[in-house]
Amino acid sequence: MKKYQLGEFEEVVMLTVGILYNEAYGISIKKEIEKRLSRKVSVGALQSALKRLEEKGYLKSREGESTQERAGRPKRYFTITAYGKKAMEYTRSTRNTLWDAIPRIALELKTVG
């Protein structure tokens, strides 16, 4: 299988887009990550990641309806592409393979004293 590049934050963003499905837009993605991971996310970092993921072909976006509350600007909704799904599957498989290769003893914690 072809190697896919997906950084840790990009993986979190991709997974969150999947969780939100048809409701995945900038602020909803930000709030969902913060809620689920108790991790602050800057709008700039999120927008950069979404742009990179779209440029890689892992996400695609579409504009929603314009709203008064957004001063007439439409929300940009994101969905995972088939290529993005392959990247996610590759990342998951790679992580699982690495976890499975760790000898059990390496993860046993011993107290000092």
For the chain, what is the mean pLDDT?
91
Q: Which tokens hold the place of 67?
A: 């709203």
| Structure token pair of residue 80 | 């995972």
pLDDT tens-place string over residues 24-55: 999 999 999 999 999 999 999 999 999 999 99
Q: Cβ(31)–Cβ(71) under 8 Å? A: no
Give the whole-angstrom CA distance, residue 111 versus residue 40. 33
Q: Nearest Cα to 50, choosing from 67, 69, 75, 70?
A: 75
Q: Enumerate domains of the chain plus CATH numbers.
A: 8-107 (1.10.10.10)
Q: In this model, does residue 113 exceed pLDDT 60?
A: no
Where residue 104 falls among pLDDT bands split at 50, 70, 90?
Answer: confident
